[in-house]
Structure 1
Amino acid sequence: MVKSFRPRKPVTVKTQEEADALVRKMKGEMEAGSSYREKSLKLHGWICAKCGREFEADNLHLLTVHHKDGNHHNNPADGSNWENLCVYCHDDEHSRSLLGDYLKGGKK
């Protein structure tokens, strides 16, 4: 997956109603994005799927949701595209492809 670091085009808002609608839309997207984490935690439990570390309420922020196919918009209700990974295993998972590409002489 290649990420672009180009700045986004600025959003121009002409009226207060358009601004309010934009804020409502963005809040809705944020709520929808956070709900898949809650669903994944309920489905898969408070444990890292890779290293097996168990989490409690005070350190639950260190448990992340990894999208197996790399598509953050693919959030099936059955959780088949998610796995809960601690921040360390999640970083490791994403760095493996970078290292593999580098060693193969692929993407740079």
Structure 2
Amino acid sequence: MINHTPNQARLDSIVAEARRHSSEREAKYRERALKLYPWVCVRCAREFSGARLRELTVHHKDHNHDNNPLDGSNWELLCIYCHENEHARILDESLRGRVIGGQAPVATHNPFANLQEKLNKKK
């Protein structure tokens, strides 16, 4: 049996409350998104209904789960597979040092910079 100190018990309580609040908030914006949009994944165009509707998720376009305008302008419906792919893509791009949603770094290497000089040497 784990013996919790009063501080640990309080921390556990705070974490549990935060998780409950997050789940309630997610249920509200998911419910609203399902009313606003057709039950179709915007990436792969698969349609969902019945028991499979649970596979359709709400993706926040700006990746901010606290940004939930009532008009749904920050949401798009993605199936669980496309949603996972979207987040993996964002993670991959950030690991490469690229910016998503903004301006990507400009390439500075020019592989053809000295091409004419190199061609002239071959003659």
Task: Give the TM-score normalised by the residue count of structure 2.
Answer: 0.61
- What is the SS of the residue equivalent to 1:55? coil
In structure 2, the residue matched to 1:63 is: 56
In structure 2, the residue matched to 1:95 is: 88
The structure with the larger Rg is 2
**How far off is 1:12 after superposition?**
2.1
Q: Which 4+ runs in 1 deviate beyond 6 A?
A: none
Q: Return 5+ residue gaps in structure 2 as ranges.
A: 1-6, 100-123
**How far off is 1:10 after superposition?**
4.3
Task: Give the TM-score normalised by the residue count of structure 1.
Answer: 0.68
Q: For residue 12 of structure 1, what is the amino acid of its counterpart?
A: R
- The separation in 1 between residues aligned to 2:38 and 2:29, in whole angstroms, is 13
Q: Is 1:33 paired with 2:26?
A: yes
In structure 2, the residue matched to 1:3 is: none
Percentage of pairs with the same residue: 46
Q: Return 5+ residue gaps in structure 1 as ranges.
A: 1-8, 14-18
- The separation in 1 between residues aligned to 2:71 and 2:85, in whole angstroms, is 25
Q: How many aligned residue pairs are there?
A: 90
Higher relative contact order (CA 8 A, sep 6+): 1
Find 1:12's aligned residue among 10, 13, 21.
10
Deviations along 1:31-73, whole A, 9 cap, x unmatched? 3331100110111121101111000111011000000000001
